[in-house]
Copies of this chain bind each other. A is one copy, B any other.
Amino acid sequence: MELRRIHHVAFAHESANEAHAILSSVLGLEITATEAGAGLLERILPVGDGSVQTLEAVGPGIIERFTSRRGDALHHIAFEVDDVTDAVRELHDRGVEMIDSEPRPGGDGTLVAFINPSSTAGLLIELVQVPPR
């Protein structure tokens, strides 16, 4: 398994904190996509060949639980891998705990899997396979 690049970095925030709008106006980034998930609104702000992702807590769910414990804070790093199915199998064989024991669809045609942070020093890591262009 080789990590190709930082695909995105995610920042979780409460709804009252318009982080996406603030980051966009202060840093000159553009919000190119908004997607709704379970209790959250995800927004993509590209930077170079990666992006910042904001995760707005809009109802009960993992982001609201995160922000209620930690406040608005960086949530995870996502790395691109060539083949996430291979990566999950390799990590599993080496005894690494996965949140997603099988890859699942992410946004924009990607396949993703999260590693359990208990295996990575408390850092939440997502692996992302991007679709062929």
The chain A residues found within 8 Å of chain B, CB to CB, are: 1-6, 9, 11, 13, 17-19, 22-23, 26-29, 47-50, 52, 70-77, 79-80, 91, 94, 96, 115, 119-123, 125
Contacts and interface: CB of A to CB of B under 8 A. Distances in A.
- A interface secondary structure, majority: mixed
Contact of A6 (B47, B76, B115): B47
| Number of copies of this chain that the complex holds | 2
B50 A19 contact: no
21 contacts: A3-B48, A5-B48, A9-B9, A9-B74, A11-B121, A17-B122, A19-B122, A19-B123, A22-B120, A22-B121, A23-B121, A26-B91, A26-B96, A26-B119, A47-B79, A72-B121, A72-B122, A73-B73, A74-B74, A74-B76, A74-B123
B5 A47 contact: yes
A19 B117 CA distance: 11
B49 A5 contact: yes
A73 B71 contact: no
A122 B20 CA distance: 12
Given A26-B91, A72-B123, A74-B75, 5 more contacts: A3-B29, A6-B6, A19-B123, A48-B80, A73-B122
Contact of A27 (B3, B71, B76): B3
